[in-house]
Amino acid sequence: MEYEFRRQDFYAGLIIIGVSLFVMVESWRMPRHLQDWPAYAAPGMVTGILGLGLLIMGIILTFRSVRRQGLPLAFKGADIIAYLTDPKTRRLGLMFALSLIYCLFLGRRLPYFVVTTIYLALVMITFRGIGPIKALIISLMVAIGVAVVFNRLFLVPLP
């Protein structure tokens, strides 16, 4: 029987092995007699054990994916092109990019409600949720609402 996640599991397994090896090395490098505490109270003790556990699971995941039947492990150019040209991927990429830019602009010189209004309106218009005028009005109302509730009601300084 074909296993749906064969390729994903293989690469995820390799990443997990890499991360766990890094965790184990870093744990080993942590001080072992800090403030005269014995080695078994060292800060890297538990992280090292968890890293080892993760390493074992990563190895099992990788070997299991190799043994199972399913998609070939190597990527082909056509697969990558098909993924990139998929409208769903484009929507995801666009949302991701807009949200990333929004986060980058937070905490800078522009006031919070301005950045938020622009972000909301841009997403609503780009994804054709509603008309531009409606989108602008809703965005402005939401941004001002959030700003007032957090800043005035809960006394949280806005980003």
Partner 1 sequence: MELGPLLILKELLKLCSPIVLFHVFWSTFIGMIIGMLPGLTATMGIALLTGLTFGMEPRMAIIILICVYVGAITGGSRSAILLNIPGTPANAAACLDGFPLAQRGEGGQAIGLAATASFIGTVFGLFCMAFFTPLLGKIALDFHSWEFFWLAIFGIIICGNLTAPTDPLKGWIAGFFGLLVSLVGMEGITAYARFSFGFDQMKGGFALIPVLVGVYGIAEVLGGMRDVVLPKVRSKVGRVIPRARDLINHYRHILRSGVIGVIVGAIPGVGEDVASWVSYDFAKRSSKQPEKFGKGSLEGLIAAETGDNACIGGAIIPVLSLAVPGSAPAAVLLAAMWLHGVRPGPLLMLEFPNYIWEVTAMMIMASFASLIISLAFVRGQVKILLVPRPVLMPIVFVLCVIGSYAINVRIFDIWVMFVFGIIGYAMRNYNYPAAPLVLGVILGDMADVNMRRALIRTAGDVSSFFTRPISLILIILIILTMISRTKMFKNGLSLGTAKIGRLFRKRKY
Amino acid code (one letter) for 142: V
Burial of 54 (C-beta count, 10 Å sphere; 0-12/13-18/19+): middle
Question: Of 127, 132, 137, 148, which lies in the binding site for partner 1, with binding defined by CB under 8 A?
Answer: 127
The least CB distance from residue 96 to partner 1, in Å, is 6
Given 25, 46, 80, 110, the residue binding partner 1 (CB under 8 A): 46
Residues of span 76-105 touching partner 1 by CB under 8 A = 88-89, 91-92, 95-96, 99-100, 102-103
Contacting partner 1 (CB under 8 A), which of 18, 26, 28, 84?
A: 26
Long-range Cβ contact pairs of 37-45 (< 8 A, separation 24 or more): none
Give the Cα separation of 130 and 42 in Å (integer). 57
CA distances from 31 to 23, 54, 58, 145, 152 (A): 14, 22, 27, 50, 47
CA separation for the pair 111, 108 (Å, rounded) = 8
118 part of the interface to partner 1, by CB under 8 A: no
Decide: 7 and 71 in contact? Cβ < 8 Å: yes
- Minimal distance, residue 85 CB to partner 1, in Å: 14
Binding residues (CB under 8 A) for partner 1: these are 5, 8-9, 12, 16, 23, 26, 30-31, 34-35, 37-47, 50-51, 53-54, 57-58, 60-61, 64, 88-89, 91-92, 95-96, 99-100, 102-103, 106-107, 116, 119-120, 123-124, 127-130, 135, 138, 142-143, 146, 149-150, 153-159
